[in-house]
């Protein structure tokens, strides 16, 4: 029980990081060019923007496969979160205590920053390139998923940093 109390900040940080990972299923961006109707409003999740997304669209002469996103560098965000969790657990178990906490905090900070660059790190498919690359960057807007994921990641980093310096903070003179 005492070991759980001693490492409570690390466990809470892991909880925030897991919540940040689950934000990949929340809406990550929406695309609404002003020259299309309201029915064209598209919303994409973090999974779709990271691992790719295509949709079959019916036309008068048949169906056309519109590729909106391809596999992209957004995978780094989730890899940094997973590595941060692994190193936080290693630190809680007492393995490489200080260096594990530093690597975990840096991983959470990098993941938090990369969440806010989700649109810029995406690989766009032909379905979005037809509209024009500069128009895509203007019209794609971050939704709640990356914003909350970035905030959760940065809170996890703050908790790991607090755990790293808690002995100096709580030191009584």
List, for residues 80-132, the tens digit of each pLDDT value: 999 999 999 998 888 888 899 999 999 999 999 999 888 787 777 666 655 55
> Could you tell me the residue range of the domain that residue 142 belongs to?
2-165
CB atoms within 10 A of CB 148: 16
Inform me whether the pLDDT recorded for 8 exceeds 90. no
Identify whether 171 is part of a domain. no
Quote the pTM value: 0.81
Instruction: Look up residue 122 and give its DSSP letter.
Output: P
CATH code for the domain in which residue 157 is found: 1.20.140
CB atoms within 10 A of CB 163: 23
Inform me whether the pLDDT recorded for 136 exceeds 60. no
Identify whether 37 is part of a domain. yes
List, for residues 56-88, the tens digit of each pLDDT value: 766 666 666 666 677 778 889 999 999 999 999
Identify whether 172 is part of a domain. no
Identify whether 48 is part of a domain. yes
Identify whether 94 is part of a domain. yes
Identify whether 170 is part of a domain. no
Report yes or no: 115 and 60 within 8 Å, Cβ to Cβ.
no
- The rounded distance, in Å, linking the Cα atoms of 14 and 9 is 9
Helix spans in the chain (H): 2-6, 8-22, 46-51, 75-92, 97-116, 126-129, 133-139, 144-164, 166-169
Average pLDDT, the chain: 80
The tally of domains found in the chain comes to 1
List, for residues 33-63, the tens digit of each pLDDT value: 555 555 556 777 888 888 877 777 666 666 6
Instruction: Look up residue 95 and give its DSSP letter.
Output: S
């Amino acid at each position: 029980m005492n070991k759980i109390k001693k490492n409570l900040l690390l466990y809470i940080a892991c909880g925030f990081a897991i919540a940040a990972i689950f934000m990949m299923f929340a809406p990550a961006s929406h695309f609404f060019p002003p020259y299309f109707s309201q029915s064209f409003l598209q919303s994409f999740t973090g999974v779709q923007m990271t691992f790719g997304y295509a949709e079959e669209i019916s036309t008068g002469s048949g169906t056309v496969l519109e590729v909106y996103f391809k596999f992209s560098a957004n995978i780094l965000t989730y890899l940094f979160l997973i590595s941060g969790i692994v190193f936080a657990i290693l630190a809680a178990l007492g393995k490489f205590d200080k260096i594990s906490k530093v690597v975990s905090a840096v991983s959470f900070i990098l993941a938090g920053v990369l969440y806010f660059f989700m649109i810029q790190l995406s690989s766009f498919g032909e379905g979005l390139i037809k509209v024009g690359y500069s128009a895509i960057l203007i019209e794609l807007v971050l939704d709640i998923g990356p914003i909350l994921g970035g905030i959760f990641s940065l809170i996890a980093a703050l908790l790991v940093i607090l755990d790293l310096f808690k002995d100096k903070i709580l030191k009584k003179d």
